[in-house]
Amino acid sequence: MNKVFDLLQKHGLTNDEQIQSAIMHGWGVKDIFDFNDRLLEAINVHAPGNADITAFNFIANSDLSAQHKGACIEWNCRLRRVDCLARFAALYSDRVYIQNYFADYAHASNSEFDLRYFYTGDLKILLKLRPLLESGILCLIQSEPGFHLCASCAAKFIPGFESISSKLEKQVDALSEEYLPKTHAAVLRYSPLDDICTIGVKGP
């Protein structure tokens, strides 16, 4: 990952303020795509096989790894989530695989603002995760086609999967019985003039 952070330094992207200034206001869209091409060349993408997934090696989902396709795109929210991921990885894992944040920009169809906003967030996350990426505790994997196993195949390849899955289901059932009656959800509409809605959830 040294080449990646050398590239960031070469382009003056060494802190959140510099990233935000360059990507949100300074660079043209072509500049962003050209830089992303160079970044992809520098990133050493790992391709995990079945033998790589062990009791202490994990694949983080898009929410935990704060992908811009995850639960929330707001920068600080994403940074809080990867902070949790980093702490978990450092304390409990030999290695955590996360989807390459920069792999899908080659065929991005977002608006210009979305492109700039997502890319700024991705670069901020890259800096946040630098120590664990450089140490190899976190590894970027190709997000397309990705690394996914259905429950049937997971049972064949992941040691103890059926036992773990059974225990998790029991815990989910127990938590559901306790917390669902105390939890309330509502669909909120931003204004009567548009169809944009959000779901609000309140509970313990």
Domains in the chain, number: 1
- Tokens 């995990």 map to which residue? 48
Residue 58 in domain: yes
Task: Burial-class residue 57 by CB neighbours within 10 Å (0-12, 13-18, 19+).
Answer: middle
Residue 44 in domain: yes
> Is 93 or 148 the better-scoring residue by pLDDT?
93
> What's the pTM?
0.67
- Residue 194: predicted pLDDT: 67
Query: What is the residue-averaged pLDDT of the chain?
Result: 85
Q: What is the pLDDT of residues 69-105, one digit of tens each?
A: 877 889 999 999 999 999 999 898 888 989 899 987 7
Q: What phi, psi does 88 have (nearest 5°)?
A: -60, -45
Q: What is the pLDDT of residues 172-192, one digit of tens each?
A: 999 999 999 999 998 887 666
Q: Which domain holds residue 106?
A: 2-148
Residue 57 in domain: yes
**Listed residue (134, 139, 128, 1) closest to 60, CA to CA:** 139
CA distance 126 to 131: 10
- Residue 109: predicted pLDDT: 59
